[in-house]
Amino acid sequence: MRDGMKVTQSLNMQSNAVFEQEQLRVQALKTVCAGSRRLEWSSPPEAIEHLKTQEIWFPPPQFYEVCRLCNFSSLGELHQFSSARALEGCERWLPVMLTASDGYIQLLPGDELYPEDPDYTGEKKTMMSTDKKVEDLMKEGSVFHRIVIKNINNYAVYVNIPAKYKHMNPLMINSDCSDCNSRL
């Protein structure tokens, strides 16, 4: 157990945190369904801009990957990179949700708060929560591999660990700010 955080096991999943997460998912689903009337090709920075203006929505894992795509200046460069590292392998991830008092953090492997034994099957009904604010958790931490979720259209990626398997870390982008720092 870490300072100021509690991990609870409960068969009763009707807790406030679960309810809030479910509300976020339902709102996201409504947004996706309402916004799926057209198809448009966008560069990664354009997609992030559309997310910021709430023209489109995509879930946190896709935001992470779009931020990773911002490392490449062209489709050819992306193809060259992916071909060069294709045989290196990949890693299966399970994001672990930490509920803070003012938002959520999806913890990814390598983050200092990522559990040593994550609940891969959901059988343990483990929930991580804290009374601290997201900003305080960020100030206290030093080893990051996480997606901070303030609301349905406000994500931020924080990564300061080396990528495995010769992969590329995403650019650290906050969907709420105007500068994506993309190479495109």
pLDDT at 91: 83
Q: What pLDDT digit, counting tens, does each position of 72-110 carry?
A: 999 899 999 999 998 898 888 889 999 999 999 999 999
CA distance to 10, 11, 66, 78, 150, per residue, from 174 (Å): 33, 35, 12, 22, 10
| pLDDT per residue as tens digits for the range 40-50 | 788 899 999 98
pLDDT digits (tens, 9 = 90+) for 127-166: 899 999 999 999 999 999 999 998 888 899 999 999 999 9
Integer angstrom CA distances of residue 158 from 62, 77, 130, 141: 15, 24, 19, 11
Residues in the chain: 184
pTM for this model (two decimals): 0.74
The type of residue at 6 is K
